[in-house]
Amino acid sequence: MEPITALLVVVICVILGGEFASIGVHLIPVGGAPAAMGTATGIATGTIQLMLGAAVVGLFTASSVATFTNSILLVSLSGAVGAMMMMGVVMLMANIIYAFGAGVVPVSGRVAVDPITRESQTEYKTPQTDGHGVPNVSYISGMVGALIGGAGGALMYFALLNYANFPAGVAGIAAISIFVANAIIAAYNIGGTIEGFHDPKFKRIHKAIFSSFFVSLFCGVLVWLTANLGGLL
């Protein structure tokens, strides 16, 4: 591939991957520390930690799949589905522990009625808390978010592997690094916790997309610079 075409392709793929990471972070329900005490809706861990865990499972499968297929779509989708599966099992088991370990019903703290299943939420909520567990709307939002985020990670990996000609290990660690940078900036945008697409904080997403665009743009150019100057292209 010509260096200029490679520049375009790599930069576009890295920007897309970064944007996907950013959007994914906004969609997964993360409650942070309060969720571990059943004081907030979502999964009881930090945004980056959860998103990174999901994306990395996707990346593992994607890198396996990339050894036997050349299609960027299939590799990205494999990563996306891997991340989605990780998130799905985690949220389901979290609900099981909430239900049978602590005796709480999953309920959203931000909306009175579940926007998808139309189940009322308010009367199930413990007073003085911000909801608890992973209700259906957050679950579906989380699945979609992991799907998008995982696709982002796998897309970046594939682009670095095949268009920037990085060896597999370099492509993997560089994809993780760019993913993490975007996820952290998105996490700062939501202040650490979010319930899903129905959360009022989700309306701030354009700010993260804007920042993520430029950060990914620079990272993409730097990656291309590495490949070009290092003689890989």
Partner 1 sequence: MTVTPAVEEEVVVAAKPKKGFTFPGDETNLGIIAGVIATIIVLIPGLPAVIKAVGMIFAFLWGMDSVRKTSKYGLGTGVPSIGVLATGYGIIGALVGAACAHVVGSIGPVAPGVLGGVVLMAIVGYLSGVFSNHEKIIGMKIPKLERGMMELGMAGTIGILLEFSIVAGSLDFGLVVEKAISSGLVAIMFILGGMSMFHPYNACLGPDERRERTMMVSVEISGLLSVILGIALLVMGSPWGIGDGISLIIFGALVWLVFYRRFIQACMKECYATVGTGLIKTLG
Partner 2 sequence: MPIEVVLLFAWMLVIAFLAFIACTFEDLESDTGSQSNPNSQVQLAAQVGQVNRFFNKAISGEPLSNAMYSATAGTVAWVLLQKFEPLVPDAKWKVAILAIPLGVLAAAMVHVIFATTAHCGRTAAQKRFEQPIYLDVLYGHLLPIATHGFMTTFCITSIAYIQSNIGYLAFGLENHPLNHPFALPLLCFIWGITVGSIGSSTGDIHYGTEREFQDRPFGEGKRVVYHGKITRYADCGIRTQRDIVGFCAKFGGPCTGLTFGLIILFENYRTLVGMRLGGFLSALPAITRPEEMFILAGDLAAIWGIVVGLLIGIALTAGNMVLVKWLRKRYGPFVGV
- Which x/- pattern, by CB under 8 A, does the window 151-190 give for partner 1? ---------------xxxxx--xx-xxx-xx--xx-xxx-
Q: CB of 24 within 8 A of CB of 150? A: yes
- Closer residue to partner 2 (CB): 124 or 188: 124
Q: By three-state DSSP, how is residue 232 classified?
A: coil
108 touching partner 1, by CB under 8 A: no
Between residue 59 and residue 78, which ones bind partner 2 under the rule CB under 8 A?
Answer: 59-61, 63-71, 74-75, 77-78
Q: In whole angstroms, give the CA distance from residue 58 to residue 86.
A: 8
State the greatest distance between any 2 C-alpha atoms of the chain, in Å, as a whole number: 63
106 contributes a contact to partner 2 by CB under 8 A: yes
Nearest distance, CB of residue 118 and partner 2, angstroms: 12
DSSP helix/strand/coil, 110: coil
Nearest to 13 by CA among 155, 177, 210, 168: 155
Going residue by residue from 206 to 225, which x/- string records binding to partner 1, judged by CB under 8 A? Answer: -xx-xx--xx--xx--xx-x
AA letter at 153: G
Tokens representing 168 are 């597999």
The site string for partner 2 over 178-217 (x = CB under 8 A, - otherwise) reads ----------------------------------------
- Confirm or reject binding of residue 227 to partner 1 (CB under 8 A): yes
Q: Please tell me whether residue 118 binds partner 2 under the rule CB under 8 A.
A: no
Binding part of the chain for partner 2, among 19-27, 136-144, 185-193, 215-223 by CB under 8 A, reads 136-144
From the list partner 2, partner 1, none, partner contacted by residue 214 (C-beta under 5 to 8 A by kind): partner 1
State the minimum distance, in angstroms, from the CB of residue 95 to partner 1: 24
Which has the closest alpha carbon to 98: 49, 29, 48, 150? 29
Q: How far apart are CA 76 and CA 157, in angstroms?
A: 9
Pick out residues in 43-62 that bind partner 2 (CB under 8 A). Answer: 43-46, 49-50, 52-54, 56-57, 59-61
List helix spans (H) across the chain.
3-27, 32-36, 47-65, 72-101, 136-158, 168-190, 205-229
C-alpha 205/C-alpha 196 separation (Å) is 11
Establish if 98 lies at the interface with partner 2 (CB under 8 A). Answer: yes
* 226 binds, options partner 2, partner 1, none, Cβ within 5 to 8 A by partner type: partner 1
